[in-house]
Chains A and B, each alone.
Chain A
């Protein structure tokens, strides 16, 4: 079942949580709502579920207007960040709850309910824990039970509010792989909310980037990363280095540092900010003809195959810069703390004077 949101506005007092939002989620897709806290993503999810009423605008499931439809008749599966399991019921009774609340005519018999619960618990790999109470489960186990409970009524829409937000890093990673896998098994249109870029990138078919009640960009994970529609999106998707300086049509300068750039006339002369992603640069012990960005090595951290190097600009710019190298390049560089190094950018994003994104450029 596809989900369409049309021109939704929601205010809480003087605060505008959603400012005329429109969104279309095709049948069977897994869409991630990504944004910082206060961007309105949870409010949008709660409006789609029917837990909040919009000030104006409409919500459609397929072609049916459900805007005024009561929560309990929308039949959406919903997963809360804090699990919201019924603490006085066992795992099996939690999962059976929705089936038992059905009106007498639609309610399956006792044996049918028991069989369905077993089937769902097997799906979430919790069948051995059926008799336990929520207080006796770990966070990851609780969230899997919550998911089984949400799927019990075979909803055509599944909504997840920061489903892995309260879990530790390792369990989170495991669970999101598993969610992706589960989504491929059962055909349900899903929307999940997250503030974790990595999570949104890994799990979603489409990412919806939100900020301050607006949608900044909708696209596949690759699209939003490689062709960010706004400065906010570029900023929000991973760490960036901001380099501030002046451009005279050929050369960008900041104190002693310079870069020869061809912006093909897109950037006017004057102040020019460049964004540099940590993995789109190399480090060297000498400057090149087109790039001279002297820095002092301030520190490094190794995680997996990547070495993150912390660098302090030598008398140009302010704050720390970050460059990511693979282990081999780092070993070849053979640098010590306080050594002077030069950053060699491969790709830079220009930011125009009005604060919007300009073309992406290479030093040449």
Chain B
């Protein structure tokens, strides 16, 4: 507990800052959305564009998350279980999506897979269109979110070592049994945490998606893109309703993340408490 007046002052200042910078804008999103009554919100929510954007956003997340879940686990397994040339380089390469601006990532995909691009031209000849369509949106979202699961797992798996896996194999477990019964239980909370982060980013991604989406209403607009579109159309209630949806998803994510962390810590405390 703070004891002196200047300690109290600091605490109050921190709360004030958080309220002004974080809580107030968040509250205002919902206030703006409901500024003309719940019926307007409902009408906006049921508009064709909104429903299409919600569906698209969820579909993108639904594809992206499993892809990166598998990719992240395989990558973490690979760099923590094997020694090979270029291992360090691979670990560095995973971070490229973190380091690179999403807009640049979107442009890179456009250059390669757009109809003017090397691969894009060839695919166009075969009648396959990637850019300005769902595949392109999924591709850049996968790119932008690919480090999350791997980044959470690598330090954990490195610190856990592989004694338990060796013990399992010595007891006759197959590779799949070892993963399912030994490795997965050891990393499950971290894995869920990685999935939550991946999902949050996949739902909220704007920069990379805006480059490759083509902004076709009712077709290639995700929720974050729709927010901007509606805002430019001076449809304040619509824009803030979409924004409110995104904010609600973010809050849900935060709640999940907190529960996961709390759960992990709780388990640890139980184990230690009973030893003592």
Q: Which residues of A contact B (CB under 8 A)?
A: 49, 51, 71-73, 75-78, 80, 82, 84-88, 97-98, 101-102, 133, 135-137, 149-150, 152-153
Contact = CB atoms under 8 A, between A and B. Distances in A.
A149 B172 CA distance: 12
Contacts of B168: 86, 97, 101
A135 B271 contact: yes
Nearest to B271: A135
B158 interface: no
A153 B168 CA distance: 12
Contacts of A97: 168, 171, 173, 181
B268 to A, nearest CB: 9
Interface stretch (B127-135, B159-167, B217-225): B159-167
B164 A87 contact: yes
Contacts of B174: 72, 101
**Residue from B169, B182, B272 with most neighbouring chain A CB atoms (10 Å):** B169
A102 B171 CA distance: 9
A135 B172 contact: no
Nearest to B175: A72
Interface of B: 163-164, 166-174, 177, 181-182, 185-186, 271-272, 274-275
A149 B271 contact: no
Contact of A135 (B166, B169, B181, B272): B272
Contact of B172 (A80, A137, A153): A153
A320 to B, nearest CB: 41
Nearest to A78: B170
Contacts of A149: 167, 171
A85 B171 CA distance: 12
| Pairs of residues from A and B, 7 with the lowest C-beta to C-beta distance, nearest first | A84-B163, A98-B171, A135-B271, A88-B185, A84-B167, A101-B173, A78-B170
Contact of A72 (B163, B164, B172): B172
A87 B171 CA distance: 16
A80 B167 contact: yes
A98 B271 contact: no
Given A86-B164, A87-B186, A101-B177, A49 B272 contact: no
6 contacts: A49-B170, A72-B173, A84-B166, A86-B167, A87-B186, A137-B275
Contacts of A86: 164, 167-168, 181-182, 185
Contacts of B271: 133, 135-136
